[in-house]
Structure 1
């Protein structure tokens, strides 16, 4: 066998089922060898999208995502997904082709010191120079990416090594992934946590996406102890949004009034205002559960208590210590505010004149009516992402994917590919703003080619955050330049879908929403890739 086949066989024995990437010299042979071995290779239109798709794979499957790129500009383009994986603590193994060993330092094709480039970004970064190192390095990189704190690992594969004859006997180790991530918490800290909660006037549980594997335990905890909970954007669905203990609609109020906050699978970063006043109660006692000791150390000045442990095991132990204790009913002021916010949302959703262009909120209400309750959702775009979080109700963990910890725009169709690959039998709805759609529009062709049906809904307000109120006052109708946030008014994005092998619909008025959404759902469920381009009010805030 040649080096490419050795790489593919090692990946197969490691249990790799999917490889994301884009081929070119010298990695074509690797991709083809993977296909021959029964590994599905998913070619994208650029490395940024491939890397983002690979980065979310670890979150959705609890297995490392695997990315294959060319060297030089290819690996540089892939840094977007590397950064995304690291910032979200998801496992990712990156393989890239590189200059022949004999030409190193001579200015070979796309030559770059990729091992040095990746070292600041990777948990390990190696260059194989002998064929005997290939299985060893791949195995080590694969397991290292998910061990301890998940992140990126990198393997550099020289051109001549990929193509040379190899005679290695491959035997890689297989073992239970859970052994790498399950940490049993200290009993003294569990007891202290239960004491703090019992003594609290208004305890609050904050749930982040890092608690997705502990969904069943958290549902039992909330059901047994009746504690109020607040999910982060990608933590939605770990406990169903419909729970009467969900206080998302009164977020600011509960953060100000909670005197003990238990943080499970979330970070005290910008999303949670760093756990600091004025957003949090100045006297709050925060207990954080995390498998990353570094994360707890970063918050040492904020925390009352840090627990190094698996979220599921920790919450189960805390529940045992609470011994059936139930927390008081939600304060009246919180209940009233939730009801007021829900009523305000319904008023914003109401359509008074169906001949007018819909607002974001009106369009999202129509979407909610037509999509299945268990549909997976990818949400992207500033206003679109934020408002969809309020309008669409989730009931399962990992049901909603969005820009994540670092607000990464461009994830939309990359995440869609991975979401559909990993849950083929679930309907997939992608809701994007028009600016966000522009980052990944060509990946519609990837969805079509890979036969991954989904419904893409572009809420098109002709801008980033917002367009302009009177488009005809600006270029191209006059010489007045558009503001930096504005895009061309009324772009027909659905025609892109049609040209790439999908289908498309255009909506300009409220009265068109129901019929088009119904037709779009039918088309998607019949196996098509569908794009509905909904023109929404360019300057509306809701």
Structure 2
């Protein structure tokens, strides 16, 4: 169904008419500027048929579009009420105190062309970021602080909707500039916490994927204690029944089995770190007390029953 022009004008926030071809790019840029500034909404630009039949050369069209793109008419309008300094200070303070901060951004940052200000905020604070689908591309997914890869794990259910502690209304570019100015001299050490003790709890299979990182722990003397639960394999020892072991290589160990009694704790000792072999609860308690007190690179090799528990997903027949 076709709509009359009067019907269209009732749902738009701005209307205009243009009859000169040379002013068309700048007029279109202005309407787009109004559309994406403040509360987004439709604009109406009326082009008489006479304009649609006018022609321009390719070079002239390129020049007109470039001029319109670079003009002030193409820049978003700073909307909303003036933001008080106290509100900017409050936003920066919330970021400083946040235990698990995350920066989520949408297309509003793109409309404001504030990707540089956004990158500065992310890299100054060290806060991970997550773009919405319409915010993709403002910062690369390969950035070291990109949390997109963790999205499927972290956002797995409906989030409880809560009122924001502080709301800032305005152009994204201007707001980010003000926040960056407020925190430019703050090292945000509370976010990184380089001296905080880290305890990594892993299975022997998981440890195998990153075992040589213990060399990095020792090189930088990082306060990391790695606890390896050693059950001799991905699912523990060979759980196959004799009937399942067939073929010309039936004497070989199961693909998911490791060398029994692997001395993972010796690996870190080769680089100058501290290693513990633990076989009883009391030994584990003692090793944890000593390593957490020393706050030095440590691997605690905890041997456990290789037949305890069940294979992941109860896939014993796959072992």
- Mark yes or no: TM-score above 0.5: no
Task: Return the structure number with greater relative CO, CA threshold 8 A, min gap 6.
Answer: 2
- Using the size of structure 1 for normalisation, the TM-score is 0.27
- Using the size of structure 2 for normalisation, the TM-score is 0.42
